[in-house]
Amino acid sequence: MKLILLGAPGAGKGTQADISKTYGIPTISTGNMIREAMKNETEMGKQAKAYVDAGQLVPDSVVIGIVRERLSAEDCKNGFILDGFPRTIPQAEALAEMGVELDCALSIEVPDEEIVKRMSGRRVCGACGASYHTDFKRPAKADVCDQCGGALTRRKDDAPETVRERLEVYHTQTEPLKAFYEAQGKLRVVQGQEQVADTTRLTLAALEQVR
């Protein structure tokens, strides 16, 4: 299964990416990889920081490079879920040029007003990148990651003004990918639900039709 997840920031891509466990394939989140690089203050992380903090996209050349390297790893040979890549037409073209044949591009649709509400409650594990929500996906113990025990914090780019900028970027730069994959007969659309489990059910049902 080679799958990409499309959708606005906060639409629930990262949460639905957990279905990779069902398929026994890795999830590759460019957002998590970039945040990790920022935390470790690598050269790439330092370059990326200004863009991320402003709610802008990191330049295509940088992101394409990290994805190409990651997809060449052994664990990707039976498939993968890409969360947050491609986000622009040039990134989608680069992915095709890498020889990747996707099974499906799944778009999770959530209205903008709903997104803004959701983002204020989002919390992320600083250690492993797992994501939670103060109302919709609470950890067993407050502010502690279920998976690794790391501390949960609010991402700086989840501040309301930055969220609005990211939505704008999504509509102008990423949404055209729906038409791009529709033209290839690969697009599937799922309406994001209030309850995570409901969205997961719709996602799995959409993927059933692919295979």
Point out which residues bind ligand ADP (CB under 6 A).
9-10, 13, 30-31, 34, 51-52, 55-58, 63, 84-85, 87, 91, 157, 166
Residue 139 near Zn ion by CB under 5 A: no
Binding mask 179-198 for Zn ion (x = CB under 5 A): --------------------
CA distance readout (Å), 152 to 28, 125, 127: 21, 4, 9
Give the footprint of Zn ion on residues 83-112 (CB under 5 A). Answer: none
Residue 68 among the catalytic residues: no
Residue whose CB is nearest to ligand ADP in the complex, by number: 31
Stretch that binds Zn ion, among 19-27, 96-104, 105-113, 143-151 (CB under 5 A): 143-151
201 is catalytic: no
**Active-site residue 188, yes or no?**
no
Residue of 28, 44, 130, 152 interacting with Zn ion (CB under 5 A): 130
Catalytic residue among 35, 123, 155, 188: 155
| Least distance to ligand ADP, CB of residue 35, Å | 7
- Catalytic residue, chosen from 35, 122, 123, 188, is 122
Active site residue 35: no
* Residues carrying an active site annotation: 13, 87, 122, 155, 166
